[in-house]
Chain A
């Protein structure tokens, strides 16, 4: 039963960490451009070391 005195505050603490994380995402502007974030994942990275960006080699 004593374990509850440890677990209850711990679970509240976990919840607070989640709230903190949410506030951080908000402050750092991660919801400012939701559509853009969804589209940007489709953009290929420009790799300066790539040998030939034009030649596609399908295997």
Chain B
């Protein structure tokens, strides 16, 4: 089957159009490369000028382009092609229900934050005159009582509304038989409100309404930061996966190609897979012969040859020509999905990790509550009025309430994640940073991590590359692309015909030439490797172009830098021992194992963990996914399969492997800052709690101490080391 380049136009993607109830049609696209005002105006103007497009709006923060369409007859493929011509590659994007749910949680938090902010300022407005009264300024008892009531009317409803997040979480935790940080917060706020009301009614001096609300305000800032961090990472991770295009191209009864979401593929559907694309679901090859790159599935770098009627596994990359396949499984039953389930099982074991903040809470809660109880009991026993003893006990609870503790970790993690995000490292959760800081052993996968994971031309002379380049540029085959990359910009061959699984043929300066397999080019050879191409003009001698998977340029430097930080290194690969040994020697790693099955990799990680090692796994393939999920921390490059990215804690969005070292440095620095913050909070409590016990704390001192300690902790968080 011969295929001309003209036939390579995109398939029908109308399955991605969304119709709303009021008859409007819209399309969401994920656009890469838009960064400035010029990009916005260029994209929106061009899109609005297309036939059938009514409006276009680009969200620069998320890279999402929302298009309103006149009717459902607009071809999304045409819009994507138009964006491609402008220089912005785009993919259809399905927002899904998870996004809406996430948004709701964020809105509830920010509303609580707004109410708490309002409450703390306005309640404090009425507290200031009361504080003035504490320092013997003129304030009659009636005026003071009125101010306290006003403070109660404003502060109490705000505190109850803003505190709901904490009360609910505390209740859930108590019912599960544990005490998290929200328990002392809830107990503190509720007791404070109760004692303040009783003092107000009994014409007392100490009302802490403003303290209760501003405490919640400061804590909600920490909660909000934590939420923003997670939401941002999740949406960025989703975008990365959307770029891998969960799309399958099927051929319908009329012989037309249509692109449909991966989940809609049924067994028996006829699939088209272009060169360089992934096999979407497990499928049988209909005709011809396929050359599949299984490196993400098994780690093996040499392509596998598949004949008609044989199984092509989902996730393999087509390195031959255009393939026609018959789907034999649905997406969720395919090999990819089977391994993804394995990953879920592993990820659950990791959720047993207890975060720093929760460990601190486990220490903090009993100590503080015991201190408050001791204050009340001790004060009463030493002859204090029970009411006075109770006020002192509540003062202990307020002054030690974990503002600083609640901000200590989220503030540090937000700063660290933002720094890493700018350096092309996506942190999926705050806990991931904590675990990354602890690691002492790194396990690398070979293919796609230490190496580029794609064929590169080796040992060819520039003259030969320049001769073959015009033909190579016209082909989409990965090895031909490698030749085109090596040659750079230049002329294109004419009358190009691509022969599936064989090679390309065309005219270069009027001479007929062929680039492809040995037999196709006309070389009588018995041994035809999968990692070579032949090139020659008709009737002249032919030359061989050799390919291999080359080492990443910064692989050696990365490993040296990790060693310098006292981390031991190991390579576990599914590839053959010759290829793995070569790479291990080149980067100077003595400990390596080859030919491992996915379960063996996961088992090796478990063995290391059993010996007490904290392992960081770096891998991209499906064969690494289970190991990624089992490891103490895991990093996947952005080119990795969806399943591996899901299993990893951090995703590298850039090309440099050195980002791994930067991530470890920042994680360690963040951990130091977080521990310093805990140290500061402990020191502060050591001073403040005894002061409250002997009755030195009044509402004014409480307000000052609380905001002061929170400020110190936040400023310390900003000291997280920026990567070079």
Chain A interface residues (CB < 8 Å from chain B): 8, 11-12, 15-16, 18-19, 22-23, 26, 32-36, 39-44
Category for how many chain B residues contact A: 20 to 34
Say whether, besides A12-B154, A33-B59, A43 and B40 are in contact (CB < 8 Å). Answer: yes
Say whether, besides A16-B118, A36-B58, A11 and B40 are in contact (CB < 8 Å). Answer: no
* Shortest distance from the beta carbon of A44 to any chain B beta carbon, whole Å: 8
A44 to B42, CA, bound (A): 12
Say whether, besides A12-B154, A19-B115, A36 and B59 are in contact (CB < 8 Å). Answer: yes
> Which A residues lie within 8 Å of B111 (CB)?
23, 26
A42 to B39, CA, bound (A): 11
A4 to B586, CA, bound (A): 81
Q: Kindly supply a per-residue 1/0 record for chain B positions 34-67, scoring 1 wherever the CB is within 8 Å of any chain A CB and 0 otherwise.
A: 0011001100000000000000001111100000
Which of B110, B126, B154 touches A26 (beta carbons < 8 Å)?
B110
Residues of B94-147 whose CB lies within 8 A of A = 107, 110-111, 114-115, 118, 121-122, 125-126
A49 to B125, CA, bound (A): 54
Q: Could you tell me the dominant secondary structure of chain A's interface residues?
A: helix
B150 an interface residue at 8 Å Cβ cutoff?
Answer: yes
> Which A residues lie within 8 Å of B125 (CB)?
11
A39 to B154, CA, bound (A): 40
* Shortest distance from the beta carbon of B125 to any chain A beta carbon, whole Å: 7
**A35 touching B126, Cβ below 8 Å:** no
**A42 touching B37, Cβ below 8 Å:** yes
A16 to B110, CA, bound (A): 15
Chain B interface residues (CB < 8 Å from chain A): 36-37, 40-41, 58-62, 107, 110-111, 114-115, 118, 121-122, 125-126, 150, 154
**A35 touching B154, Cβ below 8 Å:** no
- Given known contacts A33-B60, A36-B58, A43-B40, what 18 new A-B pairs fall within 8 Å (CB)? A12-B122, A15-B121, A15-B122, A16-B118, A19-B114, A19-B115, A22-B114, A23-B111, A23-B114, A26-B107, A33-B59, A33-B62, A34-B61, A36-B59, A39-B36, A40-B37, A40-B40, A43-B41
> Which A residues lie within 8 Å of B118 (CB)?
15-16, 18-19
A18 to B687, CA, bound (A): 38
Which of B40, B115, B150, B154 touches A36 (beta carbons < 8 Å)?
B40
A19 to B145, CA, bound (A): 27
A43 to B41, CA, bound (A): 7
> Which A residues lie within 8 Å of B59 (CB)?
32-33, 36
**A36 touching B60, Cβ below 8 Å:** yes
A26 to B104, CA, bound (A): 12
A54 to B709, CA, bound (A): 59
